[in-house]
Structure 1
Amino acid sequence: MSDVVRVRLDLAYDGREFSGWARQRDRRTVQEEIEDALRVVLRLPGTPELTVAGRTDAGVHARGQVAHVDLPVEVWAEHGEGLLRRLAGRLPMDVRVFGVSEAPAHFDARFSAIWRRYAYRVTDHPGGADPLQRGHVLWHNWPLDLDAMNEAARGLLGEHDFAAYCKKREGATTIRTLQRLEWVRRADGVLEATVKADAFCHNMVRSLVGAMLFVGDGHRPPEWPAKVLAAGVRDSAVHVVRPHGLTLEEVGYPAEEELAARNLASRNKRTLAPGGGAGGLGSGGLLDDFGCC
């Protein structure tokens, strides 16, 4: 019988005052805040380590983030029932844990995930962003053509090497499967992009949004983002938009009986192909990043 219990945490945070998810020396991070809170409320001798579905960058928000932590059986038995309320009393107001539950067998917040869904929000109102939304909506000071942006988005869907839209990392593949990319204009005039993929590489969503904004304001034709993608190299005209418009909305997981197989497939995809080189489309290579964006 295992002496630990894997606990799933569902959480949200306002990223404006954080230097991203992952712990960093002398910087405030989401991981550090939650791990330190767990250590205190559970009266642990050491700091527990969280595994997260998506390591968000500095300034990026989340309201559908998922993490897991392994706790001693006796600690979970003693504190599990009251953990949610105790975390609410300990954590700062810009990070909240909304769900605490014993995870099913083989659950892994990172490797079990089959997709991540982000939203990016932009306003093209000539007066700027609503002051009450300014920390979550980018102001683009040009009128935006929604139809042109959606036309551009369709050319980016599917499995591709997104090197032209990612900040490359040593030994890592930039191959991803972009499952959904579409824009809507909400009733309040804010344009909202839904971006869903199996995983994202560094700066991917913010670079894609930057390219589509360039189409939306008429500086480039709708086919331009797909041409940049096909070229496979960074284009100086593609700007990485600011992080505050980006929010991790949801992480998807398979049925419980499929978790073990999913974990194995994900771990294999994160292993270098024979000979040390990254594989081609569908063959994986080293997928070192599971966040973004």
Structure 2
Amino acid sequence: MMGSVRLRIDLAYDGGGFYGWAKQPAMRTVQGEIETALHRILRVRDDDADETLRLTVAGRTDTGVHASHQVCHVDVSEDVLVRCVGHMDVTPVVALTRRLQRILPADIAVHDVSVAPDGFDARFSALERTYVYRIADRGAVVDPRTRGFVLHIDDTLDEAAMNAAAAMTIGLHDFGSFATPNPGGTTIREVKTAYWRRVPSRPLIGDDMAMGERYRTPAAESGLLCFTIVADAFARNMVRSLVNGCVQVGLGKRSLNWFAGKMATPLREGSTGPIAPQGLTLEHIAYPQDGQLAARAEAIRAKRTL
């Protein structure tokens, strides 16, 4: 019997057609689709306890939330992995990558499959996650092609007020007003940066091409108001609820003092539920150097306190 290998899978997906990442009975999920594909490619029965393939993900995304860069891992025995080679004159990992790319639905894209370094855990080894929420308000020309990953708001948002609210989230806080803990977990998280910026109306084709004004068409994201947040981890509904709180401030419906009170008193009271999911995309997962992966995973498993 050969040993097992841990594979790192880097991927992206359009979350609009999924009930989130996590596998659920009778629901279409990202995890479910990939695990089904893996079992089919590697000819493993899903009910075989000795060979069942289960993904561990860097961050579970909610229903309707997208990922341009997600990371997960799966443990596979080496004798099972070689089954995917077939007639291809490539390594088993390359063969698996190609077969996954062919068999998965169009709303999932596998960027890379690689042998994970020692100590790697997609979830617990991660240093930080970056999310971006995109809004088209009256400050942007609404492009209906972007409706799948951009939220449209009729009013003009106050970017300065929203940035003042976002600045309050930076640092180590209990985000209990904006999130719900997992069983046995906490809502304490460390936000490293959080800010709103309007994408400049930059031309798709610049002046350096000397083609004249009529060729200076805008980029698809020109004018969008985007919230970027980076944290060591996120609790359930945390990003979308923070976005909703900022938007309430940006619309003038809530004050900065109200937002400050929400940060100071970590209790859910119904006024900051999560905003619509389609504007949110997981953009990046950062990991430490290979030699620090196991230590990071061990440290992050500890329950956090303020």
Indicate the residue corresponding to 2:192 in structure 1. Answer: 179
Match status 1:256 vs 2:261: no
Greater displacement, 184-193 / 1-10: 1-10
Q: For each residue in 1:242-269, what CA deviation from the matched residue of structure 2 results, as whole angstroms up to 9, or x when unmatched?
A: 0111111111111001011111112223
Indicate the residue corresponding to 1:72 in structure 2. Answer: 77
In 1, the alpha carbon distance for the partners of 2:53 and 2:181 equals: 30
In 1, the alpha carbon distance for the partners of 2:119 and 2:2 equals: 13
Indicate the residue corresponding to 2:224 in structure 1. Answer: 190
Indicate the residue corresponding to 1:247 in structure 2. Answer: 281
Q: Describe how 1:1-293 pairs up with structure 2 within 5 A.
A: 3-46=3-46, 47-77=52-82, 78=85, 79-125=92-138, 129-186=142-199, 187=201, 188-269=222-303, 280-281=305-306
In 2, the alpha carbon distance for the partners of 1:102 and 1:172 equals: 30
Q: Which amino acid aligns with 2:81?
A: W
In 2, the alpha carbon distance for the partners of 1:45 and 1:220 equals: 53
User: May I ask how many residue pairs the two structures share in their alignment?
Assistant: 272
Q: Which amino acid aligns with 2:186?
A: T
Greater C-alpha Rg? 2
Q: Which amino acid aligns with 1:50?
A: L
Indicate the residue corresponding to 1:289 in structure 2. Answer: none
Q: Secondary structure at the match of 2:164?
A: helix
In 2, the alpha carbon distance for the partners of 1:63 and 1:120 equals: 12
- Decide whether aligned partners of structure 1 residues 239 and 45 sit closer, same or farther in structure 2, where only a CA change above 3 A counts: closer
Q: Secondary structure at the match of 2:161?
A: helix
Q: Secondary structure at the match of 1:208?
A: helix
Q: Secondary structure at the match of 1:212?
A: helix
Q: Which amino acid aligns with 1:141?
A: D
- Decide whether aligned partners of structure 1 residues 169 and 38 sit closer, same or farther in structure 2, where only a CA change above 3 A counts: closer
In 1, the alpha carbon distance for the partners of 2:253 and 2:145 equals: 30
Q: Structure 2-normalised TM-score?
A: 0.84
Task: Answer yes or no: is the 8 Å Cα contact 2:2–2:79 preserved in 1.
Answer: no
Q: Secondary structure at the match of 1:68?
A: strand
In 2, the alpha carbon distance for the partners of 1:127 and 1:177 equals: 31
Q: For each residue in 1:218-249, what CA deviation from the matched residue of structure 2 results, as whole angstroms up to 9, or x when unmatched?
A: 22233432221102222433242001111111
- Decide whether aligned partners of structure 1 residues 172 and 267 sit closer, same or farther in structure 2, where only a CA change above 3 A counts: closer
In 2, the alpha carbon distance for the partners of 1:4 and 1:263 equals: 20
Identity, % of aligned positions: 48
In 2, the alpha carbon distance for the partners of 1:44 and 1:169 equals: 31
- Decide whether aligned partners of structure 1 residues 64 and 22 sit closer, same or farther in structure 2, where only a CA change above 3 A counts: same
Q: Secondary structure at the match of 1:165?
A: coil
Greater displacement, 20-29 / 140-149: 140-149
Q: Secondary structure at the match of 2:301?
A: helix
Q: How much does 1:133 deviate?
A: 0.5
Structure 1: tracts of 5 or more residues without a match: 270-278, 282-293
- Decide whether aligned partners of structure 1 residues 235 and 142 sit closer, same or farther in structure 2, where only a CA change above 3 A counts: farther
Q: How much does 1:125 deviate?
A: 2.6
Q: Secondary structure at the match of 2:177?
A: helix
Q: Secondary structure at the match of 2:75?
A: strand
In 2, the alpha carbon distance for the partners of 1:89 and 1:127 equals: 37
Q: Secondary structure at the match of 1:260?
A: helix
Q: How much does 1:45 deviate?
A: 3.8
Q: Structure 1-normalised TM-score?
A: 0.88
Q: How much does 1:127 deviate?
A: 8.8
Task: Answer yes or no: is the 8 Å Cα contact 1:51–1:69 preserved in 2.
Answer: yes
Greater displacement, 84-93 / 165-174: 165-174
